[in-house]
Chain A
């Protein structure tokens, strides 16, 4: 089943909310990664970027505001990358890409800008995907 919610169904605010400034369309979800899926679908039809407007991160505030995406991934790995069921022999299952996007949004990055930054840094070898849509720093 898809992991998503909609604001009309829940009295409690969802932990993750994103909006398209061009369309004024909002998407809320229990999953930060769903916001990335939302961006990919929406961008595919419109070319529009998406802004995260709410992100309840358990560990985001502890990061240095000046960190780049590789440092953000490294900082989040201790909290979000450890998954005993999914972790690889190297010890990390990776940080969900949605969590990285949410953390970068607090540094002023849109979803599209963060994904572009991730792609650029991956091409330098400093980030890798231990599994799909999860990031680890090298």
Chain B
């Protein structure tokens, strides 16, 4: 077995693409992909513009007309429930002259509208996106001496609808995709779809959202989430109840799972899945489902980039009742402790990457989940 060698920025070493073979020394994404502003801009299109990205939770918009907004990269969308009870997503952009229509409306504080109306010139859209009405000034030409009213073309409702964004669901989780002709969500999700749909996720309500800003590239945190080699040394309180050596890291095409066995079994009421373990699902590019196995509920993370060296961790916690019990608050506090411990680690790693010494790091043999993350990023960049 040849020895592995880190590639330094020393004028001698060269970086290479992420090797498909994890035993190769070039098994990690070159460091500049974690520090370069141009990469951040590129990812808006090549990552967040082409893959299925989590938009929000269907239970937050239960009634027709309920909606929230979400910004992904530079794209701002409206996610709403239509009169048929289906969820659709549209660009938050008026078909008239391109104005943003509704104000920023987070999922935690959704709004309701009978119709979507642009405040600029009052073009109004039905909940299915079709243009419902325009003011009379768009139907006649009384201010324009060069036109007669009969010269004014009719505005077709469908041809002038809001621009729809592909959307689909896994249980209550709503995903969107900005590509013209994307692969299906089912294809990207693989077995994640059947696994999550076998669980009663829709029976749980959003009880708490905590958003933290962290000073590292989003992929640094994604990599940290995806392995637990760091847990023994850095999450000492949490790992006392786990059998880390019995853990399994399962890797699929766009999704990987960390299974952590509990040292002493937990009541069935404290898990929403059958296996006696904690399950952490990472779904490329930036969504996770966290089932700790010690609470009757689940959590999700959105790892939302701000720029090349900062991201927001949007942590949502779901329980049967949105009013938290004392026990559930303690559970969230434990989760927060894990986050803070991880934030310290990932900010430390970003400082090292930003210093410019390293050109291409290397991954260990049990960091195959991180390897998958890096391989997917490279594939996206090359597409």
- B212 CB contacts on chain A under 8 angstroms: 23, 25
The distance in angstroms between the C-alpha atoms of A25 and B106, with both chains bound, is 18
Give chain A nearest CB distance to B6 CB in angstroms: 24
Cβ of B71 within 8 Å of any chain A Cβ, yes or no, is: yes
- Using Cβ atoms and an 8 Å threshold, which residues of chain B touch A27? 213
Task: Please report the total number of A residues contacting B with Cβ < 8 Å.
Answer: 17
Q: A46 to B313, alpha carbons, bound, how many Å?
A: 12
B347 contacts A6, C-beta separation under 8 Å:
yes
Give A1-28 as 1s and 0s: 1 = Cβ < 8 Å from B's Cβ atoms.
0101010110000000000100101010
A108: chain B residues at CB < 8 Å are: none
A2 and B309 form a contact (CB under 8 A): yes
In the complex, whether A41 has a CB less than 8 A from a CB of chain B is yes
- When A and B form their complex, what is the total count of cross-chain residue pairs whose Cβ atoms lie within 8 Å? 50
- A47-B106 in contact (CB<8A): yes
Say yes or no: is A131 at the interface (Cβ < 8 Å to chain B).
Answer: no
Majority DSSP secondary structure for residues of B touching A: strand
The B-contacting residues of A in range 31-45, CB under 8 angstroms, are 38, 41-45
Identity of the chain B residue whose Cβ is nearest the Cβ of A25 in the assembled complex: B212
Residues of B in contact, count (CB < 8 Å) = 21
Closest chain-B Cβ to A26's Cβ sits at a distance in Å of 10
Residues of chain A with a CB closer than 8 A to B104's CB: 43-44
Q: Kindly list chain A residues whose C-beta atoms are within 8 Å of the C-beta of B106.
A: 43-47
CB contact between B344 and one of A8, A20, A38 (< 8 Å): that residue: A8
7 closest Cβ contacts across the A-B interface?
A: A47-B109, A23-B210, A45-B211, A47-B106, A44-B104, A6-B215, A45-B314
B→A interface (CB under 8 Å): 71, 104, 106, 108-109, 209-213, 215, 304, 306-307, 309-310, 312, 314, 344, 347, 351
Chain A residues within CB distance 8 Å of chain B:
2, 4, 6, 8-9, 20, 23, 25, 27, 38, 41-47
